[in-house]
Amino acid sequence: MSETNLASTVPSSKSDPALAPHKDEAVVQAAAPAPAAGTRTGLRFWLLILAVNVSLFLTALDYSAVSTALPTIVHDLAGDDFVWIGSAYALAATAFLPMTGGLAEIFGRRAAMFVAQALFALGSALCGSAQNMNWLIAARTIQGAGGGSLMAITSIVISDLVPLADRAMYNALMGLTWGVAAAIGPVVGGAFTQDGQWRWLFYMNLPIAGAAAALALLFMRLKTPPGSFKSKMARMDWIGNFLIIASTTACVVALSWGGIRYAWGAPRVVVPLVLGLVGIVVFLVYEARWAREPIVPIVLLSNRTTLSGYIQVFVGAMLLVTAIFFLPVYYQACLHAGPTRSGVDLFGLAMPLGPVLIATGASIKRTHAYRAQLWLAFALAVAGFGAMSAIKADSAPGMGIGLPVLVGVGAGVWSSATYFPVLAPLPVAANAHALALFAFFRSFACVWGVTIGTAVLQTQLTQRLPADFVARVPGGVSLAFALIPLIPGLEEPFRSEVRAAFADSVATIWKVMAGVAGAGLLASFAMRAVPLSRQVDEKWALEERGAEPSREGEEGRDVEMQVADLPR
C-alpha cells in the first residue's frame, strides 16, 4: 500500500506513475483540508515571520554560547557535575516537548509561545544570578523547558501558514537564523567569559526575550480555539505527559551518571536507564491504545519515510551538538585557546551552516526532492568525523579548524532537509504533534550527544592522564574539565602529557560519532520520495482584521478527531 501525502490534492496514481502505490507501505488516511491557493504573504505575514525568528535566534544564541563558557563557569562555581549544565537544559527541553504540541493544539499557538518565552526569560535570569552549581542546574532546567518549547512553536507556526511544497526557503530562513546565532554564540560566550562576566551571557537574553514577546504580542494574531481554561485543561493528556516526562528524566539521569559518578554497570545507572526506556515504550502503547487526545498519535510513526526522518533528526542533532560541545574542549585544552579564541575557531563548523541551509532549501524548492541531499549530508559527516579523529595535540591548528567544515556542511543539509521526510506522508492536521515529536527527537539526541561525549571523554581521560596529575585534582578526573583553563600554566612534562591525553580522548569521541553518522546514512536509505503537499490547515490561519470570531472550536475538534481516528 502507498505511503502517500494525504494532505495534498494530487492526481490519482493512475494518471501519474510517480504516485503509484508501494505495496510495502501503510496507508495514512485523513480527511484533507481544502488546498491552499498559495502562501499568503504581506506585511503582517512577514512581521509574524520576524517574531518567530527572533524567538528562534534567542534560543540558538544561548545554546551555542554556553559551550565556550562552560570550563570557566564550572571553575568559578567550584562544581563537579558539569555535565548537568548542558544536560539539565536538554532534559527539560526534551521532557516537555510532547506537552508543547498538546498546549499548541488545545490552547493555541500564541498562548504556547508566551508560556515558552516566559519560562526562558525566568530561567535566564536565574542562571545569571546563580551562586552555586545546584542553583545553576535548576535554572538551566527552567530555561530548557522554555527554550525547547520555543523551537517547537516556531516550526509549528511556519507549518500552519506555509504549504510543505513552499516551505523549504522559509525553513532555510529559520535555519539561517539558527546558523548566525550558532556562529556568533561561541564568540559572544567567549567574550563575556574572557572578561570574567559570564553571568551576562544569561542576562543578555532578557532584553531579547522582551523584544520577542513584544513582536509576538503585536503580530502573532493567529486563530485561537475557544473554550474555558478548565475545559482545555481537561483535554490535556496528563497521563501521557507524566509518562514521557518521568521516563525521559530517568534516562537522562542514568546517562549523566554513567561512567562519571558511578560505573555503567552500577544499579544507580542501570535501574533508571532500564526504567526510562521501558517507560517510553509504555508511553507509546498508552498513546496508541488509551489516550483520548494523544500528544503523540501513533500515525506519526506508522510509515517508513516518517520513521526514517525521525531517526535522521535524532542522529543529525546528536552529531552537531557533540561537535559544538567538544571542539572547544580540544581548542582550549590542546591549543591553549581562550574562551573567545575557541569561539572564533569554532567558525569552521558553524560558518557553513547558513549558506548550506539556503542552498539546500533552494534545491528542495526547485526539485521537490530531499533524499539525495540527505544521503550526501550523512556521507560528509562520516568523512568529517573520521578525518577529525586523526587530529593530535601537536597537529597544525588549521586541521582542528578546517576539518570540521565537512561536518558543518552536512549539518546544514540535514538541518534543512530532515523536516520533509517527517512531514511529507502526514496530513497537515497532524502538524503540531508531528513537529513537537520532531523537536523531542532533536532535543533527546542532544542529551545523548552531550552525555555520551562526556562519558567517552571521562573514560578516556581516566586511562590517559598522568597518574601524578590526577592525584593533584581533588575530585579526580570528574574535575579535569574544570581545570582546562589551568593547563597552560602546568610545568613540563605534565603540560604536554595532559594536552596529548585530551587530544586523544577527544579523537575517540569523533570515532564514535563517525559510527553514529554511518547509522544515520543507513537509516536514510529507508525513506521514499513522497510528494510535498500544497495545503495549509486553515484552522490556524492569521485572523483577518474585523473578522467575526471564528468557530474553530467545532472545526478544530473535527480535525483533531480525524487525527485521533487514524490507523494505530
- The predicted pLDDT at position 257 comes to 74
**How would you write 390-456 as a 3-class SS string?**
CCCCCCCHHHHHHCHHHHHHHHHHHHHHCHHHHHCCCCHHHHHHHHHHHHHHHHHHHHHHHHHHHHH
pLDDT of 117 over the 80 cut = yes
- The span from the CA of 449 to the CA of 432, in Å, is 25
pLDDT digits (tens, 9 = 90+) for 492-535: 888 888 889 899 999 999 999 999 999 999 999 999 988 887 77
Confidence band for 279, pLDDT divided at 50, 70 and 90: very high
Name which of 124-128, 435-439, 471-475, 482-486 the model is least confident about. Answer: 471-475
Mark whether 149 and 286 lie in a shared domain.
Answer: no
Tell me the average pLDDT across 528-548.
67
Task: Tell me, yes or no, whether 19 lies in a domain.
Answer: no
Strand partners, 258: 262
Q: How confident is the model at residue 560 (pLDDT cuts 50, 70, 90)?
A: very low
User: What pLDDT band is residue 55 in, cutting at 50, 70 and 90?
Assistant: confident
In a domain, 248, yes or no: yes
Distance from C-alpha of 284 to C-alpha of 287, rounded to nearest angstrom = 5
How many domains does the structure of the chain reveal?
2
Contact 7, 306 (CB under 8 A): no
CATH code, 90: 1.20.1250.20
- As a whole number of angstroms, the distance between CA 504 and CA 333 comes to 11
pLDDT at 36: 44
Residues 196, 248 share a domain: no
Q: Nearest to residue 374, comparing CAs of 308, 434, 323?
A: 308
Sign of the alpha-carbon dihedral angle for 521, 527, 533, 539: negative
Report how far residue 5's alpha carbon sits from residue 32's, in angstroms, rounded to the nearest whole number: 10
Count of alpha carbons within 13 angstroms of residue 288, beta-carbon side: 13
- Say whether both 199 and 333 belong to one domain: yes
The verdict on residue 1 lying in a domain is no
Is it the case that residue 24 has pLDDT exceeding 60?
no
For residues 293 and 387, the model is more confident at 387
* 546 φ/ψ sector (left φ>0, alpha ψ -120 to 50, else beta): left
Q: Residue 542's pLDDT band (boundaries 50, 70, 90)?
A: low
256 & 363 share domain: no
189-193, 424-428, 475-479, 512-516: lowest mean pLDDT where?
475-479
Q: Rounded to the nearest 5 degrees, what angle is found at the Cα of 397, between the Cα atoms of 392 and 400?
A: 65
> pLDDT confidence of 215, banded at 50, 70, 90?
confident
Does the pLDDT value for residue 22 go beyond 50? Answer: no
What sign results for the dihedral spanned by CA atoms 18, 23, 24, 25? positive
One DSSP character per residue, 295-350 reads: SS-GGGGSSHHHHHHHHHHHHHHHHHHHHHHHHHHHHHHHS---HHHHHHHTHHHH
In this prediction, residue 398 has a pLDDT band, given cuts at 50, 70 and 90, of: confident
Lowest mean pLDDT among 22-31, 76-85, 401-410: 22-31
406 occurs within a structural domain: yes
Average pLDDT over residues 335-361: 82
Please check whether residue 69 is in contact with residue 187, taking contact to mean a CB–CB distance below 8 angstroms: no
Does residue 261 sit in the same domain as residue 318? Answer: no
Domain carrying residue 464: 40-222+232-236+293-542
pLDDT at 318: 93
3-state SS, residue 222: strand
Residues 162 and 255 in one domain: no
288 lies in the same domain as 166: no
Q: What is the pTM of this model?
A: 0.75
Percent of the chain, pLDDT > 90?
A: 18
Domain co-membership, 396 together with 531:
yes
Say what the pLDDT of residue 519 is. 95
514 part of a folded domain: yes
Give the up-direction half-sphere exposure of residue 381: CA atoms within 13 A in the CB hemisphere.
Answer: 33
Is residue 213 located within the same domain as residue 351?
A: yes
The answer to whether residue 101 sits within a structural domain is yes
What pLDDT, in 10s, does the model give residues 441-456? Answer: 887 887 788 778 887 8
Residue 28 reports pLDDT greater than 60: no
**Amino acid identity for residue 85 in this structure:** I
Does pLDDT of 13 surpass 80? Answer: no
Q: Tell me the per-residue pLDDT of 224-244, one tens digit each, with 9 for 90 and over.
A: 777 788 888 888 888 988 998
Report whether pLDDT(549) > 60. no
Q: How far apart are CA 33 and CA 191, in angstroms?
A: 50
Q: Is residue 255 assigned to a domain?
A: yes
Closest to 70 measured CA to CA, from 545, 454, 394: 454
Residues 288 and 339 in one domain: no
Same domain for 183 and 70: yes
Average pLDDT, the chain: 78
State whether 214 and 75 are in the same domain. yes
Domain membership of residue 547 (yes or no) is: no
How deeply is 355 buried, as exposed, middle or buried, from its count of CB atoms within 10 A (0-12, 13-18, 19+)? middle
CA dihedral 314, 320, 323, 328 (to 10 degrees): -130
Q: Is the pLDDT of residue 37 over 60?
A: no
| Arithmetic mean of pLDDT, 317-323 | 92
